Every structure is written in C-alpha cells, then in structure tokens.
C-alpha cells in the first residue's frame, strides 16, 4: 500500500522467481493495482480497510523474504571490515 495525502494505491502481485517460474511454460504471474481517492467515499473506505486488515493479518504469519541471506551478507561484510 502506497499512500499520499489524497489517495492510496494498493498493489497485490504474485511472481515465481525460480528458474521454472521464469523460463517454464505453465507459470502465471499477475499484478492487481487499485487506486482509491481519500474523499470519504464509504466504498473506498471499506476497500482500504479490507486491504489494510488483510496485509496486517498476512504479515503475522510471514517472514522477510531472504532475510537469512541479507543477515549472512551483512555479517560477511562486517568480518571483512575487521
């Protein structure tokens, strides 16, 4: 979700970045982009609340993608500096 003072953009996507996902024949990647004006419209407010709750609920059961790799690279860089 990206927000400025006048609107919110919601981007939901799925991509398989494995070798089979990139070069395979049966993979589908998709992205849905929705823009909502912050004008008090009840339908917009309902949609924004839905996405906000969805992302917060989903985030509880997730971990940062490749976080272990980032940590390893940072530790490696620290050891090189020493």
pLDDT at 81: 66
Confirm if 2 and 8 have CB atoms less than 8 A apart: yes
pLDDT at 61: 77
With the CA atoms of 77, 15, 7 and 47 taken in that order, what torsion angle do they form, in degrees rounded to the nearest 10?
A: -130
Consecutive sets of 10 residues in the chain, 82 residues long: mean pLDDT of each?
Answer: 93 75 70 92 93 86 73 79 63
pTM > 0.85: no
Between strands 2-3 and 30-37, the pairing is unpaired
pLDDT at 3: 92
pLDDT at 8: 94
Confirm if 38 and 7 have CB atoms less than 8 A apart: yes
- Residue 69 tokens, joined: 């790799």
Looking up tokens 């980032």 gives: 70
φ, ψ dihedrals at 10, nearest 5°: -110, 125
């Amino acid at each position: 979700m990206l927000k400025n003072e006048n609107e919110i953009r919601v981007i939901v996507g799925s991509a398989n970045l494995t070798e089979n996902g990139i070069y395979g024949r049966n993979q589908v990647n998709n992205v849905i982009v929705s823009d909502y004006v912050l004008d008090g419209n009840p339908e917009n407010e309902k949609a924004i609340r839905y996405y906000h709750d969805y992302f917060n609920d989903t985030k509880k059961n997730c971990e940062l993608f490749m976080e272990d790799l980032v940590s390893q690279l940072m530790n490696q860089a620290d050891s090189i500096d020493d």
